[in-house]
C-alpha cells in the first residue's frame, strides 16, 4: 500500500485480527477435497500448538468433499455452497456471509480449488492465507511439485502467503524448503513437500494470529515493539 509514493506499512494488529483480546482468534477453513492441511491445523489446535485459536467453520464448494466429512466427525460447524453452475461473485457472496456470520478473523484455504473474486478478497483484507506446494514465486499454479521435479530443481518446498487478486502472488508469511533427493520421483517429492505444508501452515497461522507484524510493500515483517 502506498500514499504519495511513500510506502505505508499495513499493521497486522489492525488489519488482520480485530478485538482478539476478548476471545479466541477464529479461523474459517475453505476446502474442496480431502483437507489434509485442515486436519493438520485441527491437530495442532488440539495439541496446543496454536493457543488462542479455534476453528469457527469449515466450508466446502463440493458437497462430497472428504474434508467436510472429517470436519463433521470432529464436531466442527460446517457449510456447503456448491459452486458448480453458479457465477463466482454470487457464490463468493454466500461464502463471505457465512464466514462473517461465524465471526471469522482469518480465512485459511486448504485445497480450495477456486479463484476468489475481488469482492471476497476485499471483505477480508490481509486476512486470507493460502498454502502452495512450491517456493514461490517459482512454479505457481497447478501441479507445482511436478513442475519443480521436471525442471530439475535441487531444492523444493512450500509457501504460505496472503491472498490477493493475482494467482499465488500475495505477501509470503512462511516458506519451508527441502532438498530434492536423487532417489525422488514426482510422487515422493510431493509427499515430502506435503509433510512440510502441515508444519508451515501451523507456523503461519500462529504468526498471523499474533497480530505482531507489518506488511511493508510485499514483505511480511515481524514487529519488534
Cis peptide before 123 (omega within 30 of 0): no
Separation between Cα atoms, residue 66 and residue 70, nearest integer Å: 6
Q: Which three cell numbers stand for residue 111?
A: 485445497
Cα distance between residue 224 and residue 54, in whole Å: 26
Q: Which residues are catalytic?
A: 132
As a whole number of angstroms, the distance between CA 16 and CA 26 comes to 11
Determine the pLDDT at residue 16.
43
Residue 66 buriedness (CB in 10 A; 0-12 / 13-18 / 19+): middle
- CB-CB contact of 55 with 70 (8 Å): no
Strands 10-11 vs 213-216: parallel, antiparallel or unpaired: antiparallel
22-58 pLDDT per residue, tens: 578 999 999 999 999 999 999 999 999 999 999 999 9
- Give dist(CA 166, CA 70) in Å, integer: 30
Low-confidence ranges of the chain (pLDDT < 50): 1-8, 11, 13-21
With 0-12 CB in 10 A as exposed, 13-18 as middle and 19+ as buried, what is 212?
middle
Q: What is the pLDDT of residue 224?
A: 76
pLDDT recorded at residue 12: 54
The grid cell for 123 is: 471483505
**pLDDT at residue 223 in the model:** 83
Report, at the CATH architecture level, how domain 2-219 is classified.
3-Layer(aba) Sandwich (3.40)
pLDDT of residue 7: 43
Span 185-206, pLDDT tens digits: 999 999 999 999 999 999 999 9
Structural contact between residues 60 and 82, judged by C-beta atoms closer than 8 angstroms: no
pLDDT of the residue at 21: 47
**106-128: b or e for each residue (b if 16 or more CB lie within 10 Å)?**
bbbbbbbebebbeebbebbebbb
Q: What is the pLDDT of residue 58?
A: 98
Amino acid at each position: 500500500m502506498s500514499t504519495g509514493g511513500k510506502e505505508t506499512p499495513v499493521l497486522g494488529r489492525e488489519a488482520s485480527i480485530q478485538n482478539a483480546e476478548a476471545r479466541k482468534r477464529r479461523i474459517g477453513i475453505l476446502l474442496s477435497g480431502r483437507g489434509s492441511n485442515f486436519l493438520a491445523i485441527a491437530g495442532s489446535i488440539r495439541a496446543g500448538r496454536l493457543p488462542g485459536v479455534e476453528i469457527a467453520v469449515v466450508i466446502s464448494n463440493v458437497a462430497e468433499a472428504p474434508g467436510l466429512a472429517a470436519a463433521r466427525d470432529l464436531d466442527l460447524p460446517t457449510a456447503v455452497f456448491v459452486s458448480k453452475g453458479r457465477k463466482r461473485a454470487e457464490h463468493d457472496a454466500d461464502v463471505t456471509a457465512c464466514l462473517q456470520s461465524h465471526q471469522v478473523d482469518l480465512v485459511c484455504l486448504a485445497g480450495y480449488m477456486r479463484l476468489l473474486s475481488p469482492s471476497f478478497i476485499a471483505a477480508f483484507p490481509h486476512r486470507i492465507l493460502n498454502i502452495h506446494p512450491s517456493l514461490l514465486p517459482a512454479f505457481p499454479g497447478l501441479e507445482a511439485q511436478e513442475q519443480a521435479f521436471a525442471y530439475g530443481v535441487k531444492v523444493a518446498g512450500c509457501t504460505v502467503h496472503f491472498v490477493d487478486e493475482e494467482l499465488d502472488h500475495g505477501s509470503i508469511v512462511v516458506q519451508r524448503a527441502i532438498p530434492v533427493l536423487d532417489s525422488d520421483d514426482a510422487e515422493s517429492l510431493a509427499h515430502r513437500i506435503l509433510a512440510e505444508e502441515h508444519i508451515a501452515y501451523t507456523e503461519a497461522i500462529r504468526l498471523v494470529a499474533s497480530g505482531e507484524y507489518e506488511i511493508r510493500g510485499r514483505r511480511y515483517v515481524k514487529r519488534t515493539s
